[in-house]
Each structure stands twice: as C-alpha cells, then as structure tokens.
Amino acid sequence: MAREEAVVPKAEFRSYYGRPVIKAPIWHEPHMPLYLFLGGVSGASSMLGAGARLSGRHRLALSAEVTAALSAAAGAGLLVAELGRPERFLNMLRVFKLTSPMSVGSWILAAHSGMTGLAAGSAVTGLLPRLGTAAFAGGGVTGPLMATYTAVLVADTAVPAWHEGHRELPFLFAGSALASAGAAVMLATPPGEAGPARRAALIGATLETAAGHLMEHRLGMLAEPYREGPAGRTMRAARLLTVTGGALAALAEAAAVPSPRPRRPARARFSPLRPAPRAARPPSVPAVLRGMPAVLRELPAVLRGMPAQAVLGGVSALALAAGAVCTRFAVLRAGRASAEDPKYTVVPQRERVSARESPDPTPGPVPR
C-alpha cells in the first residue's frame, strides 16, 4: 500500500478526485450579503438614533431611526426571499435555540424590526411619544446584537475561512455596520447636525479595516480565500472604498471642527483674491482643469458654493456604504471558495492530527 504522505511536504494533501469535503453555503447573491449589510446598517443606526435622542439631537435621531426601520424591514424581506420555502418563514419562531445563531438571530431581528418600526413610526407621525421613546431605547439595545450576531451566524459553520475567522469577524461586521450606518445617516441629515454620524463612520471604517487586516494576518493559509479570485478582488475594493470613505469622513469632520462659524471668515479671505465677482471666474480655474469639459471646469466653483462638509460627507458616505457592501460580498465569496477547495478543509485538519500524534515540534513547514 502506498504510504508516501510521511515524506511529501505538508502543503501536499490528498482528496477524493479534488472534490470538496464539505458543502459550500447555498445562500444566494445578492440576498445574503445584502441582508448582512442591511442588518448592520439597521443595528448601528438604531444605536445612533438612541444616542441622538439621549443628547437631544432630534433631527439626527429622526434620520437614524427611519434608516434603522427601513433597513431592518428590507433585510427581513431579503431573508424571507432567501428561504427554500418562504411561506414557512414563521417556523423560525417555532423554537428558541441558543445553539443556533440563526434562531437567536431570528428573534433578534423580530424584536429589532419591531422596535425600530415603532420608534420610526412614532418619530415621523408624532403619535404615541411614550411608546416611541421606549422603542428607541429598545432599539438601542437590540441594535448592537443585530449588527454582530451575523458574524456568529457565518462563523458557526464548517466553512474554514468563516469558522477560523470567528475571533475577528464580529469586529469586522461591527466596524462595517458602524461605517455604513454612519454613512446612511450622514446622507439623510444636514451636515451641520451629522457630526456624531461622521465620527461613528470614521471609527467604523477604522475598525473594519483593522479587523480585516488582523483576520487575514492570523488566518495563515486560510487567508488565501480572502485574497484570491473574485473574493480577493471584492475584498480589495472594499478596503479601498472604506479607507477612502474614512479619510473623507475625517476631512469632513476636520472641516467642521471649529463648527460653522469660523468657516465664514475663511470664505471671506478668498473673495478679495477675486477681482470681479463674475468675470474673474475663468482665471480661478486650476490649470489642470482647463482642457476639461465645461461641467468639470465649473465644478470647483460649484463646490465652493456648497459647504465643503456636505460634499466631502456625501462622497465619503457613498464610498463607505459601497465599501461595506463589498465587505459582505467578499466574506460570502471567500467562505464559498474555502468550502469548494478541499485543501482548506483537509490541510488544517491533517496538521491538527499530526500535531496530536507527534506532540514534539518536528521541523515541519507549519508556519503560523
């Protein structure tokens, strides 16, 4: 009998005609990643809403709570559509099982969408203010659970890139949720009042980027699915968008630091440089833009007319939201890739077996 595995390098592995050992997740695109995204947006938005209400920022609270309610409802819709038997979605509430993150999550989603719906309804219509306040508070509690349970949902599987990432995935998802909720609320709130949303987005983008890096660093061979192929491309797009969005959010925040007042003298300093209000516009166009179409040439002037904060905030929000969507798609794709290649199932398990069989550290190529 051929027993050559003792002499072949560790990276070599045997399989049944290269077929996968485990079944890849059957969850669909875009349903599943969009649900993860919307769940994150909803969870973190309701927290921003609660914070806004506690600190007396009513305009911000309104945006946050409407965002939370709409995204929870849309997410729930996607979740139902994802089922093989959508008409049986209520079976999710037949039991409560702590061993099933999906069961726990169904109850969290039910509570959270109920709370945020009530809170938003009350905030918009002005009816039942006391119930609205209670729902706000409740949504502030279900929010962080809503945003992080999905990480346990994916990690509690046999999918190697998910299961082994169970330490960092909750932080990746929490960061992504804060960034995207901050982004959504920024878009729905006048810039002067969106300060907390911007700061939450900035912290979220930082956390998302850091957790993603840490996970890839720690996963060793299992980081490959996050780096290669379509999943890798999506992950890189997510990073780029999140970092850009985060940087712009920081700029928008910096522009807002002395709050609206000090910006006016700044604008006034510019006006003396322009000799005549209208006629002087062409010379003020930067040299690089001169060959550009009229629309682009006009852009700086248009921007100057708008608060820089609004523009920076808007672009930042779009980038952050797109980055968070990409992150969720990348996680699903990486999980699928790691399930479809038997290497990711067999090699780590084989290493575990070898480590158990020969506890003394043999000089094998097992860097980690």
Partner 1 sequence: MAERMGFFTDTSVCIGCKACEVACKEWNDVPDDGFLFRATSYDNTGGLGADTWRHVAFVEQFTRQGDSWLMASDVCKHCTHAACLDVCPTGALFRTEFDTVVVQPDVCNGCGYCVPACPYGVIDRRRDDGRAWKCTMCYDRLRGGLEPACAKACPTDSIQFGPLEELRARAGERLDTLHGAGVAEARLYGESPADGVGGDGAFFLLLDEPEVYGLPPDPVVTTRDLPRMWAFAGTAALSMAAAVALSFARRA
State the nearest-atom distance from the C-beta of 91 to partner 1, in Å: 4
> 154 or 326, CB closer to partner 1?
154
Where in 309-368 is the site for partner 1 (CB under 8 A)?
335, 339, 342, 345-346, 349-350, 352-353
What are the residues whose beta carbons fall under 8 Å from the beta carbon of 198, sequence distance 6 or more?
182, 186, 249, 252, 253, 256, 313, 316
| Binding status of residue 159 toward partner 1 by CB under 8 A | yes
By C-alpha distance, which of 306, 304, 311, 300 is closest to 271?
304
How far apart are alpha carbons 75 and 196 in whole angstroms?
A: 24
By C-alpha distance, which of 243, 225, 256, 253 is closest to 333?
225
Where in 47-86 is the site for partner 1 (CB under 8 A)?
47-48, 51-52, 54-55, 82-86
Where in 253-312 is the site for partner 1 (CB under 8 A)?
256, 259
How many other CB atoms are found less than 10 A from the CB of residue 26? Answer: 9
How far apart are alpha carbons 160 and 24 in whole angstroms?
A: 10
| Binding status of residue 147 toward partner 1 by CB under 8 A | yes
> 263 or 281, CB closer to partner 1?
263
Name the burial class of residue 125, with classes exposed (0-12), middle (13-18) and buried (19+) by CB atoms within 10 angstroms of its CB.
exposed
Select the residue interacting with partner 1 from 10, 59, 167, 236 (CB under 8 A): 167
Select the residue interacting with partner 1 from 70, 178, 184, 311 (CB under 8 A): 178
Q: Which stretch binds partner 1 (CB under 8 A): 116-124, 141-149, 234-242, 273-281?
A: 141-149
Where in 205-224 is the site for partner 1 (CB under 8 A)?
207
Both tokens of 347, joined, read 């090699």
| Binding status of residue 163 toward partner 1 by CB under 8 A | yes
CA-CA-CA-CA torsion sign (45, 179, 168, 14): positive
Select the residue interacting with partner 1 from 33, 75, 101, 139 (CB under 8 A): 101
Q: Which stretch binds partner 1 (CB under 8 A): 109-117, 144-152, 280-288, 319-327?
A: 144-152
| Binding status of residue 15 toward partner 1 by CB under 8 A | yes
